[in-house]
Structure 1
Amino acid sequence: MKEDLKRINGLYVTLLLTLYACAVIVQLEAASETKTCFQKKSPCFLKKQTCPNQCPSFSPPNGSSKACVVDCFNPICKATCRNRKPNCNGRGSACLDPRFIGGDGIVFYFHGKRDEHFALVSDTDLQVNARFIGLRPSGRSRDFTWIQSLGLIFGPNNKTFTLEAQKAAKWDHQVDHLRLSFQGKEILLPKGDSSIWTPPGSYIKIERTSDMNSVLVTLPDIAEIWVNVVPVTKEDDTIHKYGRPENDCFAHLEVQFRFLRLSPNVEGVLGRTYREDFQNPAKPGVAMPVVGGEDKYRTSSLLETSCNACVYSRGSRSSDKIEPLSLNQNTVDCTGGSSSGIGIFCRK
């Protein structure tokens, strides 16, 4: 009799735990945001993707380290989690002085020239230019450079957006060093994690990913850009012998791009690495593989779309007519050692 009661009690407890677990799962799924892919040429067309429980929101609340991401051109058609700041060891990143990781997963350096502008991406309906700052210590044959600002031209009406790291003599973590403008007018984005600004028409969305100095720029159906402002520290200066002056900390940008579509003819310092026919000249095994192209990608200003290799067509081409590239944009995990992925060296 006692054994029968124990067995019944055990079954009852198991049933309660199962019901409780099911209720929790239902609540979590209900709290998770979803997105349906409407790009006609996407392998996920009309498929709804639900954010994982680990990152249930596309715009998570203050303090969350990860956000939900949906890639409509990923054949898996499954939402994933990603960090809310640039991953400098991930594809599509541009950090340090400046160190790029292309769409092909290969690390390369493009030094450009200080106080000049270069096209990072030039496509039919998107142009991303960068202004480089830097210095040349005595005895060096080239400049040390960093990306100080980005200029975006996009969409059928050639909308413009700029983002820059403001010059500072000394770095102060309590100061917002970001300056933003849309269509030539400065954007006043309130400080605070998850603060959002978007203009009428929703051409672009700017979202803070920390209280200050970090934002996510979203161009709907075109690209997402994670940006972080950092200084050249005294430690950096000592290690790399930059010769940084006392009156300038060379505040600059760490950037990571995630493209939602690109045409087969995309160009630019970074854009060309997404082309299926691109042969990266970066030499494998070299500590600092420098890739040229200054003459091909130099522009006269931050919002100029003309360069010797630029293909921007003033947004006149319909996105429906663009045959998108197959974009494999998985980020790189450098936790397993110094070398992770093809051509990627995770420590400088």
Structure 2
Amino acid sequence: MPDTTPPAIMTRGDIQRAARLSVAPMMDWTDRHCRYLHRLMSKHALLYTEMVTAPALVRGGALHLLDHHPAEHPVALQLGGSDPEELAQAARLGAQAGYDEINLNVGCPSDRVQSGTFGAVLMKNPALVADCVAAMRAAVDIEVTVKCRIGVDDQNPEDVLPEFLSRVGAAGCGRFIIHARKAWLQGLSPKENREVPPLDYDLVLRMKGMFGGLHISVNGGITDLDQAQSFLDAGLDGVMVGRAAYHQPADVLCQVDRLIWGQGTDSDPAQVVQQMRGYIEAHLDAGGRLHQITRHMLGLFAGTPGARQWRRILSEGASAQGADFNLVSHALDAVLTARAQAVA
């Protein structure tokens, strides 16, 4: 298991180094169990929570949404909201909970998020985003960042993105993660908004040229570490990987410490499974269910011998009453057997 002692306070420089490669906030996916698994695979990658809405924390008192394991650091809390004072209060709660960074969501296009007047619709109101950032910055000592799109609907990204970065940057945001696609607020589902609008990586690169003092990461459509390194070589400060880090985590996170930071050796997914034992047993002892964790582990062996058996055993058995780590061990044995047969 990772070290569970409280982490040392991370400096802004520490977080910016970690942001060379980050795992995107993904609703229903990057919960605390997922983040713990990812941390076993990489010591250095910056991890993000699912989006937590400021109203849920401030008005709803849902402080359990801030729960995280000490081993997850460096870890950032992503907030959704559009009321500066409420976001300031939520950021304060996040900082008190021990997060290393507070990130404001200005990219989610879902109808539910739009109805709350936050997410990607805020691209239309950079002055309000600037007010939100200024309030959050005044409330906490840790870094406040923004994840945004290049524009929405009929906006011309060449015009709106520079204005957005200028105004929000002037309010105190020194680091932006830019999803290199527009969002269409009507007519496309959130899934389609991750796939249909064309990617414009060149625009993000031009923004780095225009705003050299800002730390800029690119997000969207990045599938492997070679592609990530090419963006770093081109001058961007960081790369955020989403679905690839979730569905093929070993391909991204097991090698990232060595390839992106030049530190450590590659982690082995089979060893990661064994390292999950204590965490899983503690979760079960507290009344949790096995599938709440193993659903995030299904892609661990993607593309390798035994992957199908691994997914089948866990998918079919992890929801059963009384399922425990013995099921995971059984699935891992199937993988190791398939590995041995493949090299025989």
Greater relative contact order, per chain length (Cα 8 Å cut-off, separation 6+): 1
Higher helix share: 2
User: Based on CA coordinates, which of the two structures has the bigger radius of gyration?
Assistant: 1
Structure 1 length-normalised TM: 0.24
Structure 2 length-normalised TM: 0.24
Higher strand share: 1
